[in-house]
Amino acid sequence: MSAVARIWARMRTSKTVMVSGGILCAIALLAIAGPWISPNEYLTANFDNILRAPTPSAGHVFGTDDLGRDLFVRTMMGVQVTFVVAIVASVVSLVIGVLYGATAGFVGGRVDAVMMRLVDTLYATPFIFFVILLLVVFERNFLLIFVAIGAINWLDMARIVRGQTLSLREREFVQAARLIGVSTPRIIVRHIAPNLVGIVIVYVTLTIPQAILIESFLSFLGLGVQEPQTSLGKLVNDGTKQMEGASWMLLIPGTLLAAILLCFNFLGDGMRDLFDARRTQ
């Protein structure tokens, strides 16, 4: 069985993973298809139709905002941004974290000590404030936000991968491979890496909600995604300003954001139960 098939077979045994993953897939599909099916445009303002409560008959399933823009399409655009952030930031933290952690763990010795000392130091620094500083100083763009969020989250990954590599290096099958003369790069690719896949998947899933949270936090403060683009955090912020007259503007994106985060957290917990050997005793 290939590694992918093996992981999939294992995932199918967990109800938590399948249900939360299924809901997330459904939300993602809706977010992609929704703006496409809907007759409304996310940019079109209509001042005859301001702050209309959700009315399916008028074509505004989620109502309209204070500029008369259709909230269904805007919310779906926000969900798209949320998922893109989740993917890009996790890939950034995955690449940095795995490379850094595996190097430190495999090389060991003084190199490892220095590399991990740096991680400890960075761990104690409040990164979120640096991201804000970065966004104040430089022009705000999508790429900067994504990279900054990914750069916050790689520390956990590096620690975990390093710990795992360190223990794998001493295991019998690695020593046996070394004994029969397998080269170091081949040991890493054939023997160490496949045994890291499980734990890396678990921690990527646990990183995703963190990344989403940071993006929506920045957008809420007005430092993230800029108008006319939108994200769930920004929509919640718009909704907060209008909540006395138009509570749907807060409730719909707020609930959706919470639901997405809840599903990712459940997914992460379920994956940890499945793949993290240290937790399943």
Interface positions with other proteins (CB under 8 A): 121, 124-126, 128-130, 132-138, 209, 213, 216-217, 220-223, 233, 236-237, 239-240, 243-244, 247, 250-251, 254, 257-258, 261-262, 265-266, 269
- What's the chain's length in residues? 281
Burial status of residue 226 (CB atoms within 10 A of its CB: 0-12, 13-18, 19 or more): middle
Those residues whose C-beta lies under 8 Å from the C-beta of residue 78, and which sit 6 or more positions away, are 230, 231, 232, 234, 235, 253
Give the shortest CB-63-to-other proteins separation in angstroms: 16
Amino acid at 14: S
Q: How far is the CB of 48 from other proteins (least distance, A)?
A: 27
Is 72 or 266 the residue whose CB approaches other proteins more closely? 266
Nearer to other proteins, 8 or 130 (CB): 130
The residue (of 29 and 221) whose beta carbon lies closer to other proteins is: 221
Shortest Cβ 13–other proteins spacing (Å): 20
CA–CA separation, 140 and 144 (whole Å): 7
Q: Is 80 helix (H, G, I), strand (E, B) or coil?
A: helix
Cβ distance to other proteins smaller for residue 41 or 120: 120
By beta-carbon proximity to other proteins, the closer residue of 57 and 121 is: 121
Which candidate, 89, 49, 63, places its Cα nearest to that of 216?
A: 89
Q: How far is the CB of 243 from other proteins (least distance, A)?
A: 5
Of 56, 75, 103, 109, which Cα lies nearest the Cα of 216? 75
Least Cβ distance, residue 113 to other proteins (angstroms): 14
What distance in Å separates the CA atoms of residue 5 and residue 196, rounded to the nearest whole number? 16
Written as six digits, the tokens of 50 are 């301001």
Please, what is the minimum distance in Å from the beta carbon of residue 251 to other proteins? 8
Nearest to other proteins of 70, 238 (CB atom): 238
Q: What is the dihedral of CA 196, 198, 203, 209, to 10 degrees?
A: 150
